[in-house]
Amino acid sequence: MKTDLFITGIGTGIGKTVTSAVLTQYFKADYWKPIQSGDLDQSDSLTIKSMIDNDLIIHPERFKLNYPASPHQSAAMENFEINLDDFQLPNTENSLLVEGAGGLFVPLNNYEFMIDLIAKFNLKTVLVVRDYLGCINHTLLSIEALQQRNLEIAYVVLNGNFEPATKDVLIKNIPKTTQIIELPELNLLSKENINKVSKSLKIK
């Protein structure tokens, strides 16, 4: 069965790329990062490619921006503006995982945000969460924003170790129709570890 998902998160640096690698491997899916800002020599697409099976397809980014900032700022520094109309999903009959940049309200331009791109594609979402001071607030706000746009939250990923009290609140407030996926703390990102974690998943 074809599974198309948009990987988003409650912020930056919380494990979207690790989650993308695990789920791309699990679903034997194609992977696509629409916008890469900075780190072009070590992009998320290149990272994913190094951690999944060699026969899985990585689609080229729509925008590769040199400056490591939000897409609207990086694009402005290169004298152009990103718009929703610039994006079309890659043509594939395989399952597709799309990885966003940062959180839901990372700006594409002054008026359009990452959540608008999810709505344009009308994909089920995967919300990645990591434990830090403020993560409960950021998680519940993200869930509410997705629900207000009638965007389906297929999975919430709890990435790494969580304080029990934090985890308890999160689990009690994640929608009942959303499956919770718990990923272990990965101290070493490698193809072997990503494959091992993906094989351990039990996803509905």
Q: Which residues are annotated as a binding site for Mg(2+)?
A: 17, 44, 99
Comparing C-alpha atoms, which of 62, 69, 61, 24 is closest to residue 45? 61
Extract the annotated binding site for substrate. 37
Which residues neighbour 177 within 8 Å (Cβ) at sequence distance 6 or greater?
153
CB atoms within 10 A of CB 95: 18
* Catalytic residue positions, numbered: 33
CB atoms within 10 A of CB 34: 24
**Contact indicator for 74, 37 with CB cutoff of 8 Å:** yes
Distance of CA 90 to the CA centre of its chain: 16
Extract the annotated binding site. 13-18, 37, 44, 99-102
Which residues neighbour 180 within 8 Å (Cβ) at sequence distance 6 or greater?
155, 156, 157, 158, 171, 174
| Cα 52–Cα 48–Cα 193 angle in degrees, nearest 5 | 50
Q: Which amino acid is at 196?
A: K
| Cα 13–Cα 70–Cα 82 angle in degrees, nearest 5 | 135
